[in-house]
Amino acid sequence: MCGIVGYTGHRPVKSILIEGLARLEYRGYDSAGIAVEQDGALEVVHCKGKVSGLARLVEPLGLAGTCGIGHTRWATHGRPSEANAHPHTSCDGRVAVVHNGIIENFAELREELEGRGHVFTSQTDTEVIAHLVEEGLAESRDLLQAVREATERLIGAYAIAVTSDREPGTIVAARKDSPLVVGLAKDGAYVASDIIAVIDGTRDVAVLADGEMAKLAPDAVTFYNARGEAFEPEVTHVDWDLDVAEKGGYPDFMLKEIHEQPRVIRDTLAGRLVNGALSIDELDLTLEELNLIDRVYVIACGTSYHAGLIAKNLIEGWARIPCEVEVASEFRYRNPIITPTTLVVAVSQSGETADTLAAIRDARVKGARVFGITNVVGSPVARESDGVIYTKANKEIAVASTKSFLGQVVSLTLLAMLLAQVKGKLKTNQVRLLFHELADTAEQVERILAECEPAVDAAARACAEAKSALFVGRGMGAAIACEGALKLKEISYLHAEAYPAGEMKHGPIALIDEGFPVIAVATQSPVYDKVVSNIQEAKARGAMVVAVATEGDEEIARHADHVIRIPKVRDAFSAITASVPLQLFARAIALERGCDVDQPRNLAKSVTVE
């Protein structure tokens, strides 16, 4: 949910921290701060707002230290404020801590610490860690041991980096249920919640697992397992280019990532058809085991949940296996029916979504096979699943997911085809035909991006001053409508609801008056005529209708005020093409309303707390 970066070595740390935080700002941006060892003490600077504001505060300061930690925050405990910004310090100011996650027992710990005379200056859960470490150091512990003892008191999720002027040049890092990587370089050592924060300094990183710790010093890093034993970690060399984190000439990351979607489709499909048959070796199930699958759950949150709704249509339609789509935060609390022949598919862009991880663990305890779909190699979802498909979207910076969503849809479509093939519901030649049509959607998305901008912009200008909007569709279109409404809410702050079009008469039609925007997914499908009827009902009550329709459909113009046309595709693949103009539509409205499309308020890219 938040971003951590730290460095100790032989280079001035100030610019390393500020640049690293700027790259992590997609994870949280309501406050930011750094702590730097300077002249034998810790110099702490933090502020409310974005990293750019922190940079302005830090620039005139003569910070020349070579060891420090930084943080950019998305608020969980305590409102966004300077007092609640990280790093948090101990009473004596000699310990500084940055933390991602949630400490569930912080209230009891705080009461206990206050009872021993500790004075708290923030509303956060994180501050208890600084005071616990302070007590450990006061009892003649070294920093590593003091941090270890502090973490043993914590209940919840954490990734932390701790430094103290009592041990100059030392940073201790620890994690549980929240991502943390350590970067290894000739000129020092780095710690961060994401590789992108340290890629300027090193390409060699070790991913800490739950319960592991690392002690970073200028010339050495020592790793410790959950039992406190030193060990040699697996070091990964990162080979992707930094330009994935740059805008590449586009005005914002969101538009850049929307235009990267044809490549994502192609990359996700690469190597998946071998000798005319689907190949998903990562599933780690034999054909016999796959054939025994009699129930599928797709568990996900937000945009990933909508990808799951699309998958339900495909899995049940092609493979004839019952499929339920569950909001991950609800899944483990409702005692779902799970057997050894249940397949749980966990979908998460970041691979670190806390609710999805908790659902995975619950499903595995109950005996299900778990398959992950994620965009991040080595992420917790990938490590805790029996198998995984990587969506090949590369780094996604804009908070509102676009290219990762399409990667998820393509991956889930492959899974649905494989299950249907194994169950004998689709013959090999049918699978081959479907695969090639699926691959063709990359070119069709390119056409949409090249041709639909005028229609999208006109519709956006017409809707920009609205107070609310209704998205409708039937069948596959109903799932697409859900994603379209979420995108609009996320980045333009225009309230939107999505309903199956047939549900309009059961309540939502009461919202419609003169000029009320109704966005209809009206592509050619078996339920097209039904959707047109629903559009007519909305139009009769004064709605301003925006229709996403198939090229060559002239009738739709009689019923809609604005038509955004897309190439004709098989209905099963319409989610891929129809979602793209809705992404552009949301972005265009957000720009009309003066919103930040890359960093919408109150949202963070990676939700690592429940």
Write out the catalytic residue numbers: 2, 605
What share of residues in the chain are helix, strand, coil (percent, to 5)?
40, 25, 35
Nearest to 224 by CA among 147, 167, 129, 134: 147
Whose tokens are 């209905």? That residue is 571
Rounded CA separation 338/191 (Å): 39
Helix (H) or strand (E) holding 21: helix 13-24
By CB neighbour count within 10 A (0-12 exposed, 13-18 middle, 19+ buried), where does 490 fall? buried
**CB-based contact 156:174 (threshold 8 Å):** no
Rounded CA separation 420/410 (Å): 15
Phi and psi at residue 359, to the nearest 5°: -65, -40
Rounded CA separation 304/432 (Å): 26
**CB-based contact 326:296 (threshold 8 Å):** no
The pairing of strands 88-89 and 230-231 is unpaired
Q: At what angle do helices 574-592 and 403-422 cross, to 10 degrees?
A: 170
- For residue 497, CA distances in Å to 110, 494, 508, 545 come to 41, 10, 9, 15
**CB-based contact 191:175 (threshold 8 Å):** no
Nearest to 422 by CA among 292, 297, 271: 292
Token reading at 188: 């020092």
Half-sphere exposure of 537 (CA within 13 A, CB side): 18
Torsion 582-588-594-600 (CA) sign: positive
